[in-house]
Copies of this chain bind each other. A is one copy, B any other.
Amino acid sequence: MSQSTPRITDVLDDAADSQTSGEQKLSWARQYMPILSTLSEQFERAQPLAGERIAMAMHVEAKTGILVELLRDGGAEVALTGCNPLSTHDDVSAALDAQDGITSYAIRGVGSEDYYDAIDAVLDHDPTITVDDGGDLIFRIHKDRRELLDDIRGGCEETTTGVKRLLLMAEDDELEYPVFAVNDTPMKRLFDNVHGTGEASLASMAMTTNISWAGRTVVVAGYGYCGKGVSRKAAGQNARVIVTEVDPRKALEAHMDGFEVKPMADAAAEGEVFITTTGNRDVLVRDHFEVMQDGAVLANAGHFDIEIDLEALEAYADSSRGARAGITAYELPDGRTINVLAEGRLVNLATPIALGHPIGVMDQSFGIQAVCVRELVEHGDRYSPGVHSVPDSLDRDVADIKLEAEGIAYDTLTEAQEDYLASWAHGT
């Protein structure tokens, strides 16, 4: 839309330096992304995306950059921006923007208006495919840019939160093109959510606070895939984990895994560290702040910064101050301090030292993104408007690429075994 919406390279003082630094980061990530490397060879040769225009709103850092390059290598023109104002790495954004076939509007720390201007600038490229992490492109298109709908073959959505919103939209018959719920594949959920969020959140917290997990009472809100990952990896580092849940079956699952399960009202007084992973709002609120221990550490590993009610904390506190890089300390009237990491935003992405998910984990997620984009181009007509699971065969393909890259072989069913599985006429 507005011609005034800047690309990243328009706004950096030290564009050249940034590009160098960004290229260095891209080069590091590339080294540990065997799936994207394998796909890149395939895409460059076959040019499956020739003539496509891809709009992306993702966390713009090095790993995403390798996906962007891969899509471009496959023949597409790519325009991208961030999906979170604090997760953009300007240097990576600049190094991408400097490449042929890639335009980046992602700039760290922009305000809400500039954020949505950048979304619009990306959409001005008249995309044939959208790739989202949280659904911002899709929602903008459906609400305000419906003229774009004609040209769009389909989209991909990366997160649980985004998929949830799309499903609600689809239920209301409001979703006008097919979207792959990349999040819902086993490949994505197990690896990205369990291992990625689990490890990266804890490492980011450890290196921001310098506190240890051994003997620490850690309250994990939510026992979905992310919550499980955080719980297991904290326990795997000798924390004592307490889980809160709203679903009785997940509560029971956490209990059977050996964790304590309590309502947050009780857990709040016991916890030393709190990590929210629910995808819902108001998980930690005034009632909880009132009973927390002095020095309690609060972090959010869910997509949006709504899980910790910071407005309530602000209102309750006498004052707040930066306690360390990435930590805001709230001084409460009774002398206690509550320390909030990354302003309640995704702790594995938004602390100053955060690097987001581990590279290998994103290699898997983005491998699925890439084959999904190819599928939309090659067979988009097979998919009606609405949310679609990633077809099993794509998921298997990506797993195969990864296993081969890791040098791992596995068994194949014999004919007799396939027959056995295919028949019900055999007895005890």
* Chain B residue with Cβ nearest A27: B323
CB distance from A128 to the nearest CB of B (A): 24
Identical copies of this chain, number: 4
Q: How many residues of A contact B (CB 8 A)?
A: 116
Contact at A263–B200, with CB atoms within 8 Å?
no
Q: Mark A244-284, 1 if CB is under 8 A from B, else 0.
A: 11111101110111111111101000000000000011100
| Contact A24:B324 (CB < 8 A) given known A403-B255, A428-B115 | yes
| Contact A199:B206 (CB < 8 A) given known A115-B428, A256-B238 | yes
Interface residue? A180 (CB, 8 A): no
Residues from chain B with a CB closer than 8 A to the CB of A247 are: 396, 410
Contact at B206–A281, with CB atoms within 8 Å?
no
Contact of A358 among B83, B211, B235, B360 (CB under 8 A): B211
Residues from chain B with a CB closer than 8 A to the CB of A266 are: 409
Instruction: Report the bound CA distance from A56 to B426 in whole Å.
Output: 19
| Contact A84:B428 (CB < 8 A) given known A246-B410, A324-B24 | yes
Interface residue? A213 (CB, 8 A): yes
| Contact A358:B139 (CB < 8 A) given known A165-B424, A248-B410, A264-B411 | no
Q: Mark A199-227, 1 if CB is under 8 A from B, else 0.
A: 11011101101111111100000000000
User: Told that A84-B428, A215-B360, A246-B412 touch, could you supply 20 new A-B pairs with CB distance under 8 A?
Assistant: A31-B337, A32-B295, A83-B428, A139-B427, A164-B421, A165-B424, A166-B424, A186-B249, A203-B206, A214-B358, A215-B255, A238-B258, A245-B410, A246-B410, A246-B411, A247-B410, A251-B408, A262-B410, A263-B411, A281-B420
Which residues of A line the B interface, CB within 8 A? 24-25, 27-29, 31-32, 62-63, 83-85, 115, 134-136, 139, 164-166, 168-169, 186-187, 190-191, 195-196, 198-200, 202-204, 206-207, 209-216, 233, 235-240, 244-249, 251-253, 255-264, 266, 280-282, 294-295, 304, 306, 322-324, 327, 337, 353-361, 395-396, 399-400, 402-403, 406, 408-414, 416-417, 420-424, 426-428
